[in-house]
Amino acid sequence: MACSVEVRARLKTEEKSNAINASGETSWYPTDNAGKIFASLNSWQLQSTFRVSAGLKQHVQIERLESALERTVRRFPLFQTRVKPGFFWYYFEPNGATPPIQPDSKFPLGEAFSGKGRGHPWRIRVYHRTVALDCAHVLTDGSGALTFLNTLLAEYLNYQGPRDPAVGLLDVEERPHPEELENAFPKQFQSGLPAFKHESRACQLSLDADKPGVRHVTCGRVSASLLREKAKVAGASVGEYLNAAYLEALQGSVLEKTNGALHKVSGPIRIDVPVNLRPVFPSRSLRNFFLTVFVAIDPRLGEWSFEEILEAVHHQMRLQRSPRLYRQIISRNVGSERSFFLRHLPLAVKNMLMPWIFQKWNLRWTTSSLSNLGMLKLPVEMADGIERFDMLPTHPASRSIGCGVIGFGDKISITFNRTAIEPIVERLFFRGLRNKGIPVSIETNEG
């Protein structure tokens, strides 16, 4: 449905009017810089939906969860919206209804949904003791989704203690802070910065795809303290250790598929690693506020040992851990959005171009992705009712597999979301951890 003339005009100058009043009341919300791309990726092949979930110690009581959801949604104005097409960009229109809680499916994230039309860009799904939040990336990122889920769980578990926004726990009786609703990217924009260098085309996994709608989920859980000890002995962080283990598994998959013929490898094996920008550029925004950095090895130079991969990852990640580099990437993205040509293209044309641009300039750069949401720290009284957290990442079907990591208590959950038929990457990854002395307990949605 087309926007009114007034809304079209406001959309054209949205970067000048992103501040929302303290009550959170508005007639519409512009999409943020990342959301503008994700809004156009709504096919099964290019869906941009991810999941964060919690495993409780008791079976979920649906009526009690529904009541908690009603209270929670009122605290999050952005979650009371639907995605609507404007003349130039998508935008969020208020949608006061609360989506019904749904039973989970065998294949999480198996169907694309974007919140367009009458729906919401998120949903709550339940299975036995698990409460899952599926969220379209047009709305928010992992940090924003966790804040919503944690607040919902606090209401469900009747947690009466202090709510700390710093740990992703909001008071449903408080009015939304204006910063929670802002697009935080333009604040870091700097004009005149040199162009960010594009990466070369990466090696792609040659794995046969399963039929549309099938998502194979494999979750391995390891001891956080043991993994931390192993990483420390190796002189790395937990994140660096896991990225290296993933690159090692991807290398094994590529070499297995090519029978070790390195000359057949088409490029470096590269994974993108999303970075939460809130600790770097302090912000309370609950919208998308992240970017990705890259770590890579090139098997065309020969097979890499784990120690060699870890050393390379360690230095690559630390070299990229720079606010100056982050601003350069942000400025490129914001600058592209502000270009006269792109801003004035009708949305119908953008919907045709965006998927092509995303595949050409994003998917071809990387072999896979690893999204690490870190260790969650919740109040003891609330944590006593929760057994675990899991994170199921988004990934386009053409990339075969993606990995999500989240920690809680002394458990780190490592979840693979696969559209390929063969479980070769997960098998190599978890076998590699066990060979390094890290026991793994595994669950899947198979059978």
Residue 46 pLDDT: 63
Residue 435 pLDDT: 97
Q: Are 309 and 334 in contact (CB under 8 A)?
A: no
- pLDDT confidence of 18, banded at 50, 70, 90? very low
The residue among 148 and 113 whose pLDDT is bigger is: 148
- pLDDT confidence of 61, banded at 50, 70, 90? very high
Residue 337 pLDDT: 81
Residue 434 pLDDT: 98
Amino acid code (one letter) for 295:
V
Residue 114 pLDDT: 65
With a cut of 70, say whether residue 3 has pLDDT above it: no
With b meaning 16 or more CB within 10 Å and e meaning fewer, what string describes 273-293?
Answer: bbbebbebbebbbbbbbbbbb
Residue 304 pLDDT: 97
Backbone angles phi, psi at 244, to 5 degrees: -65, -40
Going along the chain from its start, the domains and CATH numbers come out as 1-14+27-160+192-447 (3.30.559.30)
Residue 345 pLDDT: 85
For tokens 């039973």, the residue is 103
pLDDT tens per residue across span 167-213: 899 999 999 999 999 999 999 999 888 887 777 889 988 888 888 88
For tokens 């994230």, the residue is 109
Residue 9 pLDDT: 35
d(CA 188, CA 5) in angstroms, rounded, equals 30
Q: In a 10 Å sphere around its CB, with 0-12 CB exposed, 13-18 middle and 19+ buried, how is residue 166 labelled?
A: exposed
With a cut of 50, say whether residue 7 has pLDDT above it: no
Structure-token pair, residue 322: 């720079």
- pLDDT confidence of 351, banded at 50, 70, 90? confident
With a cut of 80, say whether residue 110 has pLDDT above it: no
Structure-token pair, residue 382: 């609330």
- pLDDT confidence of 38, banded at 50, 70, 90? confident
Mean pLDDT, rounded, for 293-309: 96
Mean pLDDT, rounded, for 230-239: 97
- Cα 395 to Cα 38, 49, 51: the distances in Å are 12, 8, 11
* Contacts by residues 11-20 (CB-CB < 8 Å, ≥ 24 positions apart): 11/86, 11/87, 11/88, 11/89, 11/91, 12/88, 12/343, 14/89, 14/91, 15/183, 15/186, 15/334, 15/337, 15/338, 18/182, 18/183, 18/186, 19/178, 19/182, 20/77, 20/176, 20/178, 20/181, 20/182
| Percent of the chain whose predicted confidence (pLDDT) is above 90 | 64
Residue 261 pLDDT: 83
Mean pLDDT, rounded, for 126-136: 96
With a cut of 60, say whether residue 365 has pLDDT above it: yes
Residue 34 pLDDT: 85
pTM for the whole structure:
0.91
